[in-house]
A and B are shown apart, each in its own frame.
Chain A
Amino acid sequence: MQTRTVEFAVGLFVLAGLLALAMLALKVGNMPMFGSGQYYSVTASFGNVGSLKEKAPVMLAGVRIGQVGHIGLNQQTFEAVVRLDISKKYDNLPVDTSASILTQGLLGEQFVSLDPGGSQRYLKNGDKIRVTQSAIMLDKIISQLLYSKAGH
């Protein structure tokens, strides 16, 4: 009777707590859906990655399809080499797909955006994306703008 009410209330409380945790994990956070083996990796070289960070999203047409796995430096070409981990679900990206680093909003985080090409052959694990566009450095653009104005 009385003990049962207590037990029931405690059961509800624990359930509510776990539910809240589940909500935080699934709805609020991004559960790591790209576990090992669930993705394939391609690399892309950029002249400048700006403030791109590991685990930043990889988007295609605004849809998140993967994340940045690793950012390294090629010591021959002095280019940044970015490994993109793309979900196995999207295994039909054409080989002539191009990658560019864009910014979410004016001051938002940077992410990698892919633009699919028209080839019939698809990117495989270990392939390299050839066409890339580096991050736009806002301060560089502004200073160029100022210099060109001054040149007039």
Chain B
Amino acid sequence: MDQGRGIVGHVRRLGRQTLDGVARLGRAMLFLLRLTPGLPVLFTRFSLVIQQIYVSGVLTLIIVLVSGAFVGMILALQGYNTLVRYDAQSSLGLLVALSLVRELGPVLTALLFAGRAGSAMTAEIGLMKATEQLAGMEMMAVDPLKRVVMPRFLAGWVSVPLLAAIFSAVGILAAYVVAVSDLGLDGGVFWSQMQSGVSVTNDIMGGVVKSVVFGLVISWIAVFEGYDARPTSEGVSLATTRTVVSSSLAVLGLDFIMTAFMLRGL
């Protein structure tokens, strides 16, 4: 639509985009509400959820394992380099574990998940819409929200916390290997320092809470963008991009908010 040129045009466009954004948020919210009656699919058609956990969780496992190992090793090297200046290299285990469990594990896993599984989810649902598969289901008296969208949403939500835990665990193990074999630290000190400094209730539960929230938000964005996509190939590719961009931004933004709350002991 032509909004005219000059400053007035810009202001109009800006206003229009803002309104569009708010409307989009509202649509996403309503979509989530429309999704909730499909929740029993978890019990009635559990195999559908299992199948989607395979697609979004198991197939993302490789990239999570590899990234987790590398991040752990990098943390060990960088952390050692800094700590050794204060003769505090015995705290390396603590540093690595806290970084992974509280921040890097949940956040990096969420970002990887958005790029690998979230985008695939959007593309799949968008393509099913573009090729009339969803309409076909509706005409076969099958609710695509229950049959297609809900299993993917639930599977994504469940997968992220599990992947994040695996990411952190692998990262810590990789850091341990580097610390002991390469940096010559004592393995016992590595673990004992970690254990005395990492609290299960604050640090580990905090990380789990974060990854549960990230899983919910990414899966929500991914299925919404797919379902809301214009049913054309451009529409689907646009939606896929949007899933990665908005879920990454949402993850980082929410991480900041949750970290702020957690560090203030709320």
Write the residues of chain A forming the contact surface with B, with a CB cutoff of 8 angstroms. 3, 6-7, 9-10, 12-14, 16-21, 23-25, 27-32, 55, 57, 64, 105-109
CA distance A32 to B57 in the complex (A): 31
A17–B163 CA distance with the chains assembled, in angstroms: 6
**Chain B interface, DSSP helix/strand/loop, else mixed:** helix
In the bound assembly, the distance between CA atoms of A30 and B87 in angstroms comes to 24
Cβ–Cβ < 8 Å partners of A105 in chain B? 87-88, 90-91
Q: Is B70 an interface residue (CB 8 A)?
A: no
User: For the complex, would chain A's binding face be called helix, strand, loop or mixed by DSSP majority?
Assistant: helix
Contact assessment for B54 and A25 in the assembled complex, using a CB-CB cutoff below 8 Å: no
Contact B86 A107 (CB under 8 A): yes
The stretch that binds A, out of B114-122, B131-139, B199-207, B247-255, is B199-207
Q: How many Å from the CB of A101 to the closest CB on chain B? A: 16
Contacts of B198 in A (CB 8 A): 28-30
* Number of chain B residues whose Cβ lies closer than 8 Å to a Cβ of chain A: 38
Known pairs A14-B162, A24-B169, A108-B88; A30 contacts B57 (CB<8 A): no
B203–A29 contact, CB under 8 A? yes
Which residues of A sit under 8 angstroms from B159, Cβ to Cβ? 13
Other-chain residue from A20, A25, A57 in contact with B200 (beta carbon distance below 8 A): A25
Task: Decide if B91 touches A32 in the complex (CB within 8 Å).
Answer: no
Does A17 lie within 8 Å of B87, measured CB to CB? no
**CB proximity of B172 to chain A, nearest CB, Å:** 6
Q: Judge whether B4 is part of the interface by a CB distance below 8 angstroms.
A: no
Residue of A nearest to B161 (CB): A17
Interchain nearest-CB distance for A109 vs B (Å): 7
Q: Are B58 and A10 in contact (CB under 8 A)?
A: yes
CB distance from A51 to the nearest CB of B (A): 15
Interface assignment of B44: CB less than 8 Å from any CB of chain A? no
Chain B contacts for A27, CB-based, 8 A: 191, 195
Q: Contact: B86 with A55, CB < 8 Å?
A: no
The answer to whether A9 and B54 have CB atoms under 8 Å apart is yes
Q: How far is the CA of A23 from the CA of B168 in the complex (A)?
A: 10
With both chains docked as a complex, state the minimum distance between the C-beta of A122 and any C-beta of chain B, in angstroms.
26
Contacts of A19 in B (CB 8 A): 169
Chain B nearest CB, measured from A46 CB (Å): 21
Supply 4 further A-B pairs (C-beta < 8 A) apart from A10-B54, A28-B195, A30-B200: A10-B57, A12-B58, A28-B169, A28-B198
Contact with A along B187-220 (1 / 0, CB 8 A): 0000100111111110110011000000000000
Instruction: Check A57–B61 contact: CB distance below 8 A.
Output: no
Whether the Cβ atoms of A24 and B168 lie closer than 8 Å is yes
Smallest Cβ distance from B55 to chain A, in angstroms? 9
